[in-house]
Amino acid sequence: MAITDHILDLLVTYGFQVLGALAILGLGLLLARWVGNALQRVLQQQDMEPPVRMLLVRMTKGLVLLFVLLTALEKLGVQIGPFLAGIGVVGLGVGIAMQGVLSDVIAGLTIIFTKPYRVGEYVELIGVEGQVVTISVFSTILEHTDRSRVVIPNRKVIGEVLHNFGDVRQLKLTVGVAYGADLNKALAVARSLVLANPRVLQDPAPLVGIAVLADSAITVSIQPWVKVADYLTVQAELYRAIVEEFRLQRIEIPFPQQEVRLLGPS
């Protein structure tokens, strides 16, 4: 009889606390799901990578669940002060040990929300350049024209000078013509070849003109704009077309030469 009375006393004393804690946990799970779904809808309207969006949603849901768990423990009469202090000490130690990783995460979130560059754009930063293929929380991956990839930690990006070419690049081609050649004809041929290439963008308009009066030739500069993916292809096509058309039009492309005079004894 005494045991039964003791059990009833425990149920009366702690029953409502347990029921309250369970109710808090149940409502907390619903709240975490609602917050996660709401954040998911907001982030879907932003231009960011799906893995990054998923990570942000999970981190937010985790923080909500942690808050709910601490509230439930407090409802049960558990002193959460020492628990919070322990979390703080552990968090400080983890933060010191992983400060590089945390710096990458913070920098990655900054890049994602400020958008200094996007996937598909061609950029140059910290001495390397390439087309952006991946932007994650931890790193940015650039792809070179030779298909090799450069992985840059995000903390190296923030605070550095960034040259963003966007999704187009300007070709800088040069060809030499002889001093005795018809310059108007050479410029007209070069301009027509550029405009005839379907990969060359018409806006901005290509630039064709004389760049340098060199020792052995007049250097003609040809600078059209192309899509990043077409950069090397158009460069090769235009150089070949220029050589073939100049030969056909008898526009001389001179090679460097020097005149050497041998003087005999006077």
What residue ranges define each of the domains in the chain, with the CATH number in brackets? 2-97 (1.10.287.1260), 116-166 (2.30.30.60), 168-248 (3.30.70.100)
pLDDT digits (tens, 9 = 90+) for 210-237: 988 888 889 999 999 999 888 889 999 9
Nearest in space to 125 (alpha carbons), one of 206, 230, 135:
135
Q: Does position 186 have pLDDT exceeding 50, yes or no?
A: yes
Res. 97 pLDDT band, cuts 50 70 90: very low
Q: Does position 114 have pLDDT exceeding 70, yes or no?
A: yes
Question: Rounded to 5 degrees, what angle do the CA atoms 155, 156, 161 make?
Answer: 125
CA distance 224 to 231: 10
Mean pLDDT (the chain) is 78
What is the reported pTM?
A: 0.58
In contact, 15 and 77? CB cutoff 8 Å: no
**What is the mean pLDDT of the segment spanning 87-110?**
63
**Residues paired with residue 212 on neighbouring β-strands, in sequence order:** 219
**DSSP H helical ranges for 45-136:** 50-75, 80-97, 99-114
Would you say the C-alpha torsion 156, 160, 163, 164 has a positive or negative sign?
Answer: positive
Q: Which has the minimum average pLDDT: 101-105, 136-140, 250-254?
A: 101-105
Q: Residue 220 burial by CB count (10 A; 0-12/13-18/19+): exposed, middle or buried?
A: buried
